[in-house]
A and B are shown apart, each in its own frame.
Chain A
Amino acid sequence: MKSIHRNPETAGIGLRLAHLAEMVATRPPTAWLEFHPENFLANPHAAELLSELSGRYAISLHTVGISIGSASGIDRQYLKRIRSLVDRIDPFLVSGHLAWSTYGNEYLNDLLPLPYNEESLSVVAVHISEVQDSLGRPYLIENPASYVGFSSSTIPEIEFLAEIVRRTGCQFLCDVSNIVVSGHNMGYDAHEYIDQFPADAIAEIHLGGFTPEEDPATPGAELWIDTHATAIAAESWDLYSYALRRFGWKPTLIEWDNDIPSLPTLLGEAASADEIARAIQSEAPYANAP
Chain B
Amino acid sequence: MTPGRATGGMWYTFRTNRVAQAGGTIIVSTLMAILLVRLLSPYGPNEKDYMSILHMPSLAHPFGTDSFGQDVLTRVVYGAQVSLIISFGGLILGGLVGSVIGMASGFWGGVLDAVTMRFIDLLYSFPTYVLALCLMLLLGYGSRSVSLAIALVYVPNFARLARSMTAATRAENYVTAARLMGQSPTRILLREILPNIAAPLLVQFSAGLGFGIILEAGLSFIGLGVQPPTPSLGVMMADGKDYFQKAPWVLTLTGVSVAWIILGLNLLGDGLRDALDPQLRRRLS
Q: Do A and B come from one complex?
A: no
Which residues of chain B have a CB within 8 Å of any CB of chain A? Answer: none
Which residues of chain A have a CB within 8 Å of any CB of chain B? Answer: none
